[in-house]
């Protein structure tokens, strides 16, 4: 990887995946303060406060509306990238973050809970267009080499550069999950009482997203446009040549240009299937079912409940209130380490071991939380078991389920089917994210400690499905994978 190539990869991750992670966790720490603001505003408007159920409903909407925005954004990204290119699409998305930051930052001054909800939905729109969109639908960075990436299924569906060949596609495919973990960790650190965790700072805490978005907006102009976009979409051979020379650090790029022209000709003869055609294509039925199971299981595993409501979970587990913020930060540090372990071992261990182990770990730890909550009255030390189980869920997720589903989606389909498969998987991902974020507080109120058994069952069933049905895709061509499914 040359320095310009690595720099722009990190820049895109910093302003997309990292923001996604930050927005997942940013509502956890100030939950009490935001609810108090909602209640006080309602009291001023109508002369009475909100009851527990309406307040929970309003706050759950605030948390989960982020995922609905992400769902809309992920459906729009293909058009944006095709029309404006990588830089143009990311710049326009960064402007959305500036708008969202203004809404959330001034919400308390203007006495408007609606501005918080609108701001959260706009940040979701940005994350859908950047984090799970540009990286999945038509990653314009990809140098899709006919004898490496295409033959091994990586194709052109990553925003991370495949110029190093297919032997690193697993590593590069999991890099976004590292930045998601870092985003979550930074949100947990900034939520400490010594920093932005006090009541007067929560609007600023929510609007900190303006910083990475502004940096991305400024620095994107220092890098050339995606070579692949310039040549294949705009037919600008001169511009693509200049961009490749800068990215690859060599003046001799004619071989790469030749390969990209061959790809351009091959793509012109490939008819992309629609979502409806994909769903009714019997030759890829098991691949589609696998994408549905893995992407839905990724969000229904309970990880979003952990990230959205960590402080509430620790409070119910009996952790002293004064220790909760620091315990949360500790879990964030461990998840970054777990993500790095997954990133650096995926090419050695393969996809299946990481994702099966991850889901099994999450299922066992979810059951462990239930047991520890039931026994904590008789055995006070069980509260620490709860913390260990939360750490296990996060670590298990970051080692495999955090990134492998997106990587597997690319590796299970040919180029003609891949965009539609990504739309199906991405839409399910965001929709299930919304379901968990919205329903979990009510599930917790009604089922108590037993609510985690739902996540336990889902995780173990997904792990069993992968073990029985999904083959190892490392270093396999699509034809080999298709034959195994058949």
Residue 273 has what pLDDT? 78
CA nearest to 133, candidates 100, 196, 186, 176 = 176
What are the tens digits of pLDDT across the range 370-413? 998 888 878 888 888 888 898 889 888 887 787 778 777 777 87
Residue 15 has what pLDDT? 64
CA 91 – CA 88 distance, rounded (Å): 5
CA 216 – CA 476 distance, rounded (Å): 36
Mean pLDDT of 49-67: 89
Inter-residue contact 358 to 337 (CB < 8 Å): no
CA nearest to 132, candidates 434, 364, 368, 423 = 423
Give the best-scoring range by mean pLDDT among 132-136, 244-248, 307-311.
Answer: 307-311
Residue 235 has what pLDDT? 79
Residue 78 has what pLDDT? 63
pLDDT value at 118 more than 90: yes
Inter-residue contact 367 to 453 (CB < 8 Å): yes
Residue 3 has what pLDDT? 61
Between the alpha carbon of residue 166 and those of residues 64, 134, 153, the distances in Å are 36, 20, 9
Residue 279 has what pLDDT? 86
SS3 string, the chain, reads CCHHHHHHHHHHHHHCHHHHHHHHHCCCCCHHHHHHHHHHHHHHHHCCCCCHHHHHHHHHHHHHHHHHHHHHHHHHHHHHHHHHHHHHHHHHHHHHHHHHHHHHHCCCCCCCHHHHHHHHHHHHHHHHHHHHHHCCCCCCCCCCCCCCHHHHCCCCCCCCCCCCCHHHHHHHHHHHHHHHHHHHHHHHHHCCCCCCCCHHHHHHHHHCCHHHHHHHHHHHHHCCCCHHHHHHHCCCHHHHHHHHHHHHCCCCCHHHHHHHHHHHHHHHCCCCCCHHHHHCCHHHHHHHHHHHHHHHHHHHCCHHHHHHCHHHHHHHCCCCHHHHHHHHHHHHHHHHHHHHHHHHHHHHHCHHHHHHHHHHHHHHHHHHHHHHHHHCCCCCCHHHHHHHHHHHHHHHHHHCCCCHHHHHHHHCCCCCCHHHHHHHHHHHHHHHHHHHHHHHHHHHHHHHHHHHHHHHHHHHHHHHHHHHHCCCCCCCCHHHHHHHHC
Mean pLDDT of 35-51: 89
Averaged pLDDT of the chain: 79
More confident residue, 114 or 233: 114
Write down the CATH superfamily of domain 273-485: MFS general substrate transporter like domains (1.20.1250.20)
What are the tens digits of pLDDT across the range 281-297? 888 888 889 999 998 99
> What percent of the chain has pLDDT above 90?
17
Mean pLDDT of 196-217: 87
Between the alpha carbon of residue 344 and those of residues 61, 179, 198, 341, 402, the distances in Å are 37, 14, 37, 5, 14
CA nearest to 126, candidates 85, 69, 80, 61 = 69
Domain ranges of the chain: 1-143+151-223, 273-485
Inter-residue contact 24 to 308 (CB < 8 Å): yes
Mean pLDDT of 417-440: 86
Inter-residue contact 187 to 26 (CB < 8 Å): yes
pLDDT value at 485 more than 90: no
Determine the distance from the C-alpha atom of residue 207 to the mean position of all C-alpha atoms in its chain, rounded to a whole number.
19
CA nearest to 454, candidates 441, 438, 443, 442 = 443
Confidence band of 456 (pLDDT split at 50, 70, 90): very high
Mean pLDDT of 452-475: 89
Confidence band of 237 (pLDDT split at 50, 70, 90): confident
**Which residues contact residue 278 at a Cβ distance below 8 angstroms, ignoring those fewer than 6 apart?**
284, 288, 417, 420, 421, 424
* Cβ atoms < 10 Å from Cβ of 17: 26
Inter-residue contact 128 to 78 (CB < 8 Å): no
Residue 469 has what pLDDT? 87
Confidence band of 131 (pLDDT split at 50, 70, 90): low
* Cβ atoms < 10 Å from Cβ of 73: 27
Residue 284 has what pLDDT? 82
Inter-residue contact 273 to 416 (CB < 8 Å): yes
Residue 481 has what pLDDT? 75
Residue 137 has what pLDDT? 35
CA 394 – CA 373 distance, rounded (Å): 18
**Total number of residues shown for the chain:** 486
Question: What is the CATH number that goes with domain 1-143+151-223?
Answer: 1.20.1250.20
What are the tens digits of pLDDT across the range 78-111? 666 666 666 666 777 778 888 999 999 999 999 9
What are the tens digits of pLDDT across the range 304-349? 888 888 888 888 777 888 888 888 888 888 878 887 887 777 767 7
What are the tens digits of pLDDT across the range 267-277? 666 677 778 88
CA nearest to 291, candidates 403, 419, 408 = 408
Residue 148 has what pLDDT? 29
Q: What are phi and psi of 379, to 5 degrees?
A: -125, 95
pLDDT value at 205 more than 70: yes
CA 479 – CA 486 distance, rounded (Å): 10
Mean pLDDT of 458-478: 85
Residue 166 has what pLDDT? 46
Inter-residue contact 65 to 117 (CB < 8 Å): yes
């Amino acid at each position: 990887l040359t320095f310009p190539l690595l720099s722009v990869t990190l820049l895109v991750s910093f302003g997309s995946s990292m923001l996604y992670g930050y927005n997942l966790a940013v509502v956890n720490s100030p939950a009490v303060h935001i609810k108090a603001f909602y209640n006080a505003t309602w009291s001023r408007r109508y002369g009475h406060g909100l009851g527990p159920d309406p307040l929970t409903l309003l706050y759950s909407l605030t948390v989960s509306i982020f995922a609905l925005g992400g769902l809309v954004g992920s459906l729009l990204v293909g058009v944006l990238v095709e029309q404006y290119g990588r830089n143009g699409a990311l710049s326009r998305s960064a402007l959305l973050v500036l708008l969202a930051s203004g809404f959330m930052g001034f919400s308390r001054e203007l006495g408007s809970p609606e501005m918080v909800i609108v701001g959260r939905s706009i940040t979701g729109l940005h994350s859908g267009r950047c984090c799970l969109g540009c990286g999945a639908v038509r990653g314009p960075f990809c140098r899709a080499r006919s004898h490496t990436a295409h033959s091994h299924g990586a194709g052109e569906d990553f925003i991370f550069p495949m110029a190093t060949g297919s032997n690193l596609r697993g590593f590069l495919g999991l890099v976004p999950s590292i930045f998601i973990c870092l985003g979550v960790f930074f949100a947990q650190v900034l939520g400490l009482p010594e920093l932005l965790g006090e009541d007067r700072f929560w609007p600023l805490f929510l609007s900190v997203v303006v910083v990475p978005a502004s940096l991305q907006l400024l620095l994107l102009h220092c890098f050339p446009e995606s070579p692949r976009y310039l040549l294949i979409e705009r037919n600008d051979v001169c511009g693509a040549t200049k961009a490749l020379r800068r990215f690859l650090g060599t003046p001799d790029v004619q071989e790469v240009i030749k390969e990209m022209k061959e790809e351009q000709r091959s793509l012109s003869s490939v008819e992309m299937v629609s979502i409806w055609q994909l769903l009714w294509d019997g030759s890829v039925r098991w691949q589609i079912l696998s994408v549905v199971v893995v992407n839905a299981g990724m969000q229904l595993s309970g990880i979003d409940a952990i990230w959205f409501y960590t402080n509430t979970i620790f409070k119910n587990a009996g952790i002293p209130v004064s220790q909760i913020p620091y315990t949360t930060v500790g879990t964030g540090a461990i998840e970054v380490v777990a993500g790095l372990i997954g990133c650096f071992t995926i090419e050695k261990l393969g996809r299946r071991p990481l994702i099966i182990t991850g889901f099994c770990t999450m299922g066992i730890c979810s059951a462990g939380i239930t047991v520890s909550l039931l026994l904590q009255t008789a055995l006070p030390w069980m509260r620490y078991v709860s913390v260990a189980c939360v750490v296990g869920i996060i670590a298990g997720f970051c080692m495999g389920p955090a990134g492998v589903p997106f990587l597997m989606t690319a590796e299970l389909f040919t180029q003609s089917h891949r965009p539609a498969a990504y739309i199906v998987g991405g839409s399910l991902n965001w929709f299930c994210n919304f379901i968990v974020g919205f329903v979990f507080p009510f599930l917790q109120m009604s089922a108590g400690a037993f609510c985690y058994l739902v996540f336990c069952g889902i995780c173990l069933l997904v792990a069993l499905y992968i073990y029985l049905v999904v083959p190892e895709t490392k270093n396999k061509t699509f034809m080999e994978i298709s034959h195994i499914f058949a």
